[in-house]
């Protein structure tokens, strides 16, 4: 508050130096109301106002201030109110008492000047455009809605007829192909003990541009075999590779392929026991460390030596229809490959039908499942089933006779 009084004290001294109007000159008139049409700001707090009175008369004048010891009396509330006139704008509605300043008809001193409530009115053809004051601005009112003609009743648009709701069918979303993919396959799904397992590994560039892959050594890939979660064989075990960087270039859509063999012996050179095995493969380039590993499963044992593949069934369906076959593959539950020819049509018998896949294809299976159709996707499965056909759909499928985990 003290700072405020000091500020106005200094301003008052400056005002007196330029001839600020002060009160005590003539007797003021009765209050009159009018509108500010022009405001000429001089050295603060001097301002010359042009008022357009309600009776059409036009007067010019300045607000006056009480003074004390040659300074503006900031204890006088009327003087403090008059100081606000410096910030008035054309269009402001005001009430004031007029006092003669000189022997003229329209030059006055304004005492007890107050701005009226109700905001600002438009001043037509005024020469100066008022500067907007943030504290006084109000949002513009929206224009009123057009009213209908008196003789024409308002028309209410007729509601559009509602269309019957159609059942929404969800189409399967095809996953976007990854830039690089790794795949590992075997030539059979089941082997006799001691029989050579032929392995094929493929790295494919799925993009439309060339990809260069850098390797830290002469080793390009790695393959391991596991049984019941324990690693029994590793392709690189006992091998030596040149310790030098190497590059591999793959053009758009090109693939890198490698073929290897496993003699069914572990890293110690001992034959592995019968059972289900999982092969895992990955590329050793550091820049592809985030690339998912490729996996496939197969079985070693005389019980399933004569197993067939899904591709063999689909290539010669008439040969296998009604016959019992053995398959070694992976459980797909309720999520078969949507691109598989005999899975696009949906379940062949019931909504609970599930699917099995091997490295050659995918088929639906009807009958009891040994796995959870949602949680156990990808787990190894041995299946004895009868090959059947849905004549209405022309769909080949399997009826489960015996399913075994692993």
Strand 395-405 versus strand 361-366 pairing type? parallel
282 and 318 belong to one structural domain: no
CB 166 within 8 Å of CB 225:
no
Number of structural domains the chain divides into: 3
6 and 115 belong to one structural domain: yes
The answer to whether position 163 is within a domain reads no
The answer to whether position 233 is within a domain reads yes
- Cα dist. 82→1, 116, 141, 158 in Å? 19, 13, 31, 61
Which stretch of 63-67, 146-150, 284-288 has the lowest confidence by average pLDDT?
146-150
Q: What is the pLDDT of residue 399?
A: 94
The answer to whether position 184 is within a domain reads yes
Which has more pLDDT, 94 or 202? 202
pLDDT in tens, 229-260: 899 999 999 999 888 888 999 999 999 999 99
Per-residue pLDDT band at 49 (split at 50, 70, 90): confident
Helix (H) or strand (E) holding 152: none
The yes-or-no verdict on residue 261 having pLDDT over 80 is yes
The answer to whether position 346 is within a domain reads yes
> Average pLDDT over the chain, rounded to whole?
79
Please confirm whether the linkage preceding 57 is cis (ω < 30° from 0).
no
Across the range 290-312, mean pLDDT stands at 79
185 and 290 belong to one structural domain: yes
Q: Considering 72, 96, 120, which residue would you say is the last residue of a domain? A: 120
pLDDT in tens, 203-233: 999 999 999 999 988 899 999 999 988 999 9
Q: Which domain holds residue 284?
A: 180-301
297 and 311 belong to one structural domain: no
Across the range 20-42, mean pLDDT stands at 70
Q: Considering 258, 284, 301, which residue would you say is the last residue of a domain? A: 301
Q: What is the pLDDT of residue 43?
A: 76
> Chain-centre distance of CA 108, in angstroms?
68
57 and 79 belong to one structural domain: yes
Strand 324-333 versus strand 380-390 pairing type? antiparallel
Across the range 123-128, mean pLDDT stands at 44
pLDDT in tens, 132-188: 444 444 445 555 555 555 555 555 555 565 555 554 444 544 444 578 999 999 988
Across the range 3-16, mean pLDDT stands at 51
268 and 313 belong to one structural domain: no
The answer to whether position 347 is within a domain reads yes
9 and 104 belong to one structural domain: yes
């Amino acid at each position: 508050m003290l700072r405020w009084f000091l500020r106005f004290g200094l301003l008052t001294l400056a005002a007196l130096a330029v001839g600020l109007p002060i009160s005590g000159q003539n007797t003021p008139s009765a209050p009159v109301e009018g509108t500010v049409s022009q405001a000429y700001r001089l050295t603060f707090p001097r301002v010359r106002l042009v008022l357009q009175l309600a009776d059409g008369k036009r007067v010019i004048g300045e607000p006056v201030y009480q003074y004390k010891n040659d300074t503006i009396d900031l204890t006088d509330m009327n003087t403090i109110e008059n100081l606000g006139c410096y910030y008035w704008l054309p269009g402001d509605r005001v009430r004031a008492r007029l006092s003669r300043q000189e022997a003229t008809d329209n030059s006055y001193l304004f005492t007890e000047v107050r701005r009226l409530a109700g905001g600002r009115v438009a001043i037509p053809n005024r020469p100066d455009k008022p500067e907007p004051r943030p504290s006084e601005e109000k949002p513009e009112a929206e224009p009123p809605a057009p009213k209908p003609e008196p003789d024409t009743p308002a028309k209410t648009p007729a509601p559009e007829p509602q269309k019957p709701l159609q059942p929404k069918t969800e189409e399967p979303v095809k996953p976007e192909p990854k830039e690089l993919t790794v795949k590992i396959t075997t030539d059979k799904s089941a082997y006799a003990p001691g029989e050579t397992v032929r392995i094929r590994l493929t790295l494919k560039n799925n993009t439309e541009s060339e990809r260069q892959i850098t390797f830290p050594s002469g080793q390009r890939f790695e393959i391991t075999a596991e049984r019941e979660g324990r690693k029994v064989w590793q392709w690189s075990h006992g091998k030596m590779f040149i310790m030098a960087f190497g590059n591999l270039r793959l053009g758009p859509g090109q693939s890198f392929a490698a073929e290897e063999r496993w003699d069914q012996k572990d890293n110690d050179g001992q034959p592995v026991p019968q059972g289900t095995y999982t092969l895992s493969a990955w590329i050793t380039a550091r820049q592809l460390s985030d690339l998912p590993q490729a996996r496939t499963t197969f079985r070693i044992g005389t019980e399933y030596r004569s197993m067939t593949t899904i591709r063999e069934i689909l290539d010669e369906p008439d040969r296998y229809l009604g016959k019992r076959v053995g398959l070694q593959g992976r459980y797909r539950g309720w999520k078969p490959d949507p691109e598989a020819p005999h899975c696009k049509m949906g379940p062949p018998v019931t909504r609970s039908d599930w699917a099995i896949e091997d490295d050659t294809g995918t088929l639906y299976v009807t009958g009891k499942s040994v796995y959870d159709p949602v949680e156990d996707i990808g787990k190894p499965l041995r299946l004895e089933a009868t090959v059947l056909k849905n004549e209405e759909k022309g769909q080949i499928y399997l009826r489960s006779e015996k399913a075994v985990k692993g």
